[in-house]
Structure 1
Amino acid sequence: MKPSQQVLELATTVPGATTDDLLHKLLANLTALLGARRAYVTEVVDQGVSRTVASWEDDKRGPAREYKINGTPCAMVMRDGTQVVDCALGERYTLDESSLGYGCQSFVGSPIVGHGGERIGQLCVFGASPLGDPEMASALVAMAAVRVSSELEHRQQEAALAQSEAYSKAIVATAAEGIVTVNAKGQIESFNRAAEKMFGYSEKEIVGQDVHVLIPEQYRNQHAQHVTRFFETGKASIIGTGREVTARRKNGSVFPIHLAASEVSLGGERCFAGIIRDVSEQKAAEESLRATERRFRAVFDQRLQLVAILSPAGIVLEANQRSLDFTGLQRDQVIGREFWATPWWTHSPELQQRMKYAIQAASQGESLQFEVTKPRKDGELGILNLSIRPIMDKLGEVVFLLCESHDITEHKQAAEEARDHRERMAHVSRLSTLGEMAAGIAHEINQPLTAISLFSQAGKRLVEAGQFDKMDEVCFKLNEHALRAAEVVERMQSMARQGENLKELVDCNELIESTVRLAESEARIYDIQIEFDRGTDLPPILVDGVQIQQVALNLLRNGMEAMIAFDERKGCPINIATRLNDHKEIEVAVTDCGGGVPRNRMDKLFTPFSTTKKSGMGMGLSISQAIIRAHGGRIDFCNTESCGARFWFTIPASEKESHNGR
């Protein structure tokens, strides 16, 4: 056979055969034409490793195998990408039993090149003896390599198409959404697993049926009209878009779905695909969310507090109805605006700035609380107790700020009225106390007045006698006793004065010392000695001095009255002491020797109008308790082992420097 005929025979081998059959038939013909022993089609597996796609060995199909090409002529073909013809194989290579060319003497190999120019494998032929016509062998192998390349590409395309179809079918079959295809006649052609689960039909029983079985009866005519209009005009209400519609299950129940429909053309025929998602749970969740929102809004709007929800930057996200009604505002006047710029705070630039700083602090995780004023819808300013606190997520990040406030205007007014009432009662009590002390005070004043009278008479006689040199001493004594009388009067005026409840930092020891001096005038009448034990290193206290003096004086006078009524006191003194207790409070205690508090009086001791005195009002201890509580302290008592009573009260210490007792 002529070489041209051999090439033609090789090129037209087994037309229409499968790729696998064609490759083996081609290798069989090639070995026959060349008188070769073996022929292979290989593909690259890895660097230096190839795998046989088809093999022909000793006139029959050979097994598939992987082999290393290093140290064989196949390596040169893959490395250089050119045909290699070797008629002295045994002399150039040492091939073991694992090599494709083991026991052969000649080799012809051509690379198989893919459509992108890459080397994807090779066609190689091994002869048991040297080639008879190397040029013819080279041409035939090159021709066969081109044919193999074409077949391998075709096989790869078929494999890729088959894989793509398999992937598509798997995706459609396993998709979470229902996927249904319908032909132009309205007949269902495919129905995936999700659609089966959704509608209750199996694919076998639904394919071929009209799509109307999936549509509730009341909507079927409407659907038919849409389809007719689409075919006539090309205008669709749902094709290419998605919307919610109502569908029908096999059992007749209806449910909401989201349908996204599209039109495709397969083989010149129109086909429609629908991707269906059951939105029953979504609709139920939306309704639940709306119900929750309604409940939240009802509770939110009816809260007693004025509430606003802010972003970390201070933008008002939400405000309850009560906060709007308080000032007479509408939602659009506050929602979406900076909190400090809303009409709630525009009445005070200082308050606006304070709100801005407070929000900055809250956005950093700090909680704040303070009193503010806010305009009411009647035009008056209300007083609010306002708090701003951050709300954080699980990571500790501030997600929004919660601002709550409640109107304390009436509470503040009531507290102010109560304070005024307490002040009036305390003033009345002080006046009553001064009235009861009148005898002692008169005696205290009479002593310097008597001395002044005597020294005036003595001065007159000295003047008449012309002894002017002694008048300096007389005038000094007159001034001394006048100042003494003025001091007594000043103490009386201080106690009688109705002050303005102004608190100031004072030294507790100095305050109690002045109280002792005021009480001593009465104590001397009854021959009672007042001992004062000063505490040391006492911090100052922020108090209304007159009120604290009133409490201390009331305890001293009560103790002295108990001692006067107790026959066995035997000259025992009454003691008043100051100290810093374990709670870092200033404690003032009065200890008497007056027989103690009877058991039947202990529970009612601080009750208003409760007294055992014939002339007392029963308000002293009650007013004292109110004064001390207003100063943030406590007042209490106990009986002592020495047949007396100990009354004490505490006042919070100020954080200023301490004052040493003197």
Structure 2
Amino acid sequence: MTEKSALLFAIIENAIDGIITIDERGLIESINPAACALFGYSIEEVIGRNVSMLMPRPDKDQHDEYIARYQRTGSPHIIGTGRDVNGQKKDGTLFPFRLGVNEVKYSGRTIYAGFIHDLSREKEAEAKILHYASQLEKLVEERTVSLQKSVTELQAAKETVSKSLEKEKELNQLKSRFVSMASHEFRTPLSSITLSASLIERYKLQSDDTNVSKHVSKIKNSVGNLTTILDDFLSLERLEAGKIETNFTKFDVVKLSEEITEEMQLMAKKDQNIIYQHTGLHSTVLLDQNLLRNCIVNLISNAIKYSGENTFIEFNTELTSTECIVTVRDNGIGIPETDHKHLFEPFFRANNTGNIPGTGLGLNIILRYVNLMGGKVNFSSLVNQKTVFTLNFPQ
């Protein structure tokens, strides 16, 4: 073997791609190690056999026809590069490769050299890319639909919110105007009525005119009820507008409670008695005095309103090392158990209140005031037996 032939042989033997040569009948004359590795055969197993053994059907059957046609016409079927086909390994599995075929004139005869480039990895990568692309397209499509839906919903929500805000703004303006008007327009004549009623009582004839006293009492009660209603509406408006700010100061809760007891006793019914008692070694608390006063006055007012004559209203304060406890107890009409869960809702009144006047705002206002001071409200009640409200404030 010449040096040139040896070099050519070494190149073929060490080539990365498979190389197979066949004769005019399609019989394999040579095969390099790379081709043997691709198809899983040894050299001895393929030399002298028809190359169609390396092809799957229907290529195998078609190749025999190509050979027969070549023998009849003298024209080969495949010459050139770049044709992707499938090969069949010894174990029957298939793999893709790119086939290039050259016609070679050698020693007065024609042979065909096939160059085989394995495409297995490329095809796997291509399949993965196509799979990922398909998934990505599907995901993009789903996300696009979802985004379009979200945009539509957001637009609808925006329009709804805009309408709601506009409506709420109008309602708030109307409410503020009503509250301001009510506060101004009602308080002036109510003050006049109160003054007139006081003067009637003061300058009436010294005789025991029971009718005058009766009507004076009615005027005072009506004025008191209207004033309470206005105060409730004003308090609710300020709470809704966020205008209530707590002002925590240290003060004597016993002194405050005694003042409230004295004031509320004047509003009590005939032979109703408010009994105040304090428990604890100290009496100084850190709370908002105005808010606490409002809560206590409201609770005692309710006790007076919903209790009959000749009854006792118990009003207690207790100061421990950790909390301040305020309790108001009456023995009036009580609260039906079915109404307990709605008791602190705005404008709600128990079913057994009948013609007793009220706005249904008092307890809601108390709850919100107590919450502003960081406290809690608890109550218990039995119809026609008792009602007990307890306010607990941390100290």
TM-score normalised by L of structure 1 = 0.31
Q: Which has the higher contact order (CA 8 A, sep 6+)?
A: 2
Larger Rg: 1
TM-score normalised by L of structure 2 = 0.48
Normalized per residue, which structure has more helix? 2
